[in-house]
Chain A
Amino acid sequence: MDAFYASVELRRRPELRGKPVVVCGSGPRAVVTTASYEARKLAGIHSAMPAAVARRRLPDAVYLQPDFTVYRDASREVMAILHRNAETVEVVGLDEAYVDLTGLFSPKATMRRIAAEIREEAGLGCSVGISENRLLAKIASELGKPGRLAVLSRSDALERFAGDSPGLIPGIGPKTVIKLQRMGIRTLAALRARDPAALERAFGPRTGRWLHARSRFEDDTPLTVVREAKSQSAETTFDVDVSDSAQLTASLTSLAEELCRRLRSRQMEGRTIGIKVRLDDWTNVTRSQTVEQPTNDPAVVAPVALDLLRAYSPPRPVRLLGVRVAGFDRGAETADEPEEAQDQLQLTLSG
Chain B
Amino acid sequence: MKFTTKQEELVSKLSIISRAVSTRAATQSLSGILLSASEDGVTLRATDLEMGLQTGLVSDVDGMGSVLLPGRLLAELTRSLGDAVVEIESREAERDVEIRSGGSSFHLRILPAEDFPNFPDEDDAPLRIPAPALASSIELVARAASRDDMRPVLTGVLVTAAGEEMTMVATDSYRLAVKRTELETGIGGELEANIPARALRELGRIVSTEQVADVSVSLLRNQAVFRAGAVVLNTRLIEGQFPNFQQLLPKSYEHDVRLPRAELLDVTRRVSQLAQRNAPLRLSFAPGELTVAASTPDVGDAEETMPAAFEGEPLEIGFNPDFFKEGIESVEGDELILRLISPLRPGLLQPVDNDDFRYLVMPIRLNV
Chain A residues engaging chain B, CB cutoff 8 angstroms: 204, 206, 281-284, 312-315, 335, 338-351
Contact = CB atoms under 8 A, between A and B. Distances in A.
Contacts of A351: 241-244
Contact of A347 (B148, B248, B298, B366): B248
Contact of B346 (A335, A340, A341, A347): A347
Contacts of B247: 350
A346 B278 CA distance: 15
Interface of B: 18-19, 21, 23-24, 72, 143, 147-148, 150, 154, 171, 173-174, 176, 198, 201, 241-244, 247-248, 278-280, 297-298, 318, 320, 344, 346, 360, 362-367
Contact of B243 (A312, A339, A341, A349): A349
A348 B250 CA distance: 12
A102 B296 CA distance: 35
19 contacts: A283-B147, A335-B150, A338-B150, A339-B278, A341-B280, A341-B320, A343-B364, A343-B365, A343-B366, A344-B320, A345-B174, A346-B174, A346-B362, A347-B248, A347-B346, A348-B248, A349-B171, A350-B247, A351-B241
Given A206-B298, A341-B278, A313 B363 contact: no
5 closest Cβ contacts across the A-B interface? A343-B365, A351-B241, A341-B278, A349-B243, A345-B362
A350 B243 contact: yes
Contacts of B320: 341, 344
A348 B19 CA distance: 34
Given A282-B147, A350-B244, A345 B364 contact: yes
B319 to A, nearest CB: 9
B240 to A, nearest CB: 8
A221 B362 CA distance: 32
Contacts of A314: 23
Nearest to A284: B147
A86 B300 CA distance: 42
A312 B23 contact: yes
Contacts of B176: 347
Nearest to B242: A351
B147 A349 contact: no
A345 B243 contact: no
Contact of B363 (A204, A342, A345): A345
A312 to B, nearest CB: 7
Contacts of A338: 148, 150
Contacts of B242: 351
Contacts of B148: 338
A314 to B, nearest CB: 8
Contacts of A281: 201
A347 B363 CA distance: 10
A281 B145 CA distance: 14
Contacts of B23: 312-315
Nearest to A283: B147
Nearest to B241: A351
A347 B171 contact: yes
